[in-house]
Amino acid sequence: MTEMDTARLRARVIEVAREMNARGINVNKSGNVSARACRAAADGFVITPTGVPYETLRPEDLVFVPLAEPLSVRDAIGRYLPSSEWEMHARVYLARPDIEGVVHTHSAYATALACQEMPIPAFHYMVACAGGASIDVAPYRTFGSSELAQEAAAALKARNACLLAHHGVLAAASTVEKALVLAAEVENLAHQYAIVRTLGTPKLIEEDEMQRVIEKFRTDGQPQKRLSGNETGGSE
């Protein structure tokens, strides 16, 4: 159920935005974060504003954007303009009713692959965390454009994360916090894949096995974290 546009929801968005920078998957103000929300009778989302450092953001600084066609920034509610990528977030929410949070970063390794228009194939089973057997690259379009928004939404139709050619990473999930975790995992996988490529031709997991992994993620959730001490259980 979509949350109301509350100070607490806005604080969570700000926490995620700051955590992006703290984790090193974003620099300064280059990324953006949003969470689906409803305000009075209007469905929409709250998003980080353009040009405001995350460190100084307050809940009232976030911008509410209604999810009503035709989309227009003139309908946004807030003291600042929303992120220039507001329409990209809006198109994802409209295309995916199950999505409650969206995170966009310019993390180093994933962006490097995106600049080479290089998808991340099934070299590691965790690629399935994005919802498929690969993490694909959406075609390049000018930042902040309706064309980019459409391409991004199409790329996430059957995935929860993608690379944006010559741009960065887009991740979506059932909460804004989970979207951040996914964006961080995409960067980790991109880093690993870049290393693997220096060792020779990457060896890929077969398609039928990746389908089993994808189904396991859907039914069992994420693999368990490695246990320590006297705890028992699976290794992952």
Active site residues: 85
Q: Is 177 left (phi over 0), alpha (psi -120 to 50) or beta?
A: alpha
Give me the amino acid identity at 151: E
Q: Which residues are within 8 A (CB) of 70 and not within 5 positions of it... i.e. 6 or more apart? A: none
Query: Are 176 and 182 within 8 A, CB to CB?
Result: no
Instruction: Supply 73's token pair.
Output: 């920034």
Residue of 167, 164, 143 lying closest to 152 (CA atoms): 164
Fill in the DSSP letter of residue 135. Answer: B
Between the two ends of the chain, the Cα-to-Cα distance in Å is 31
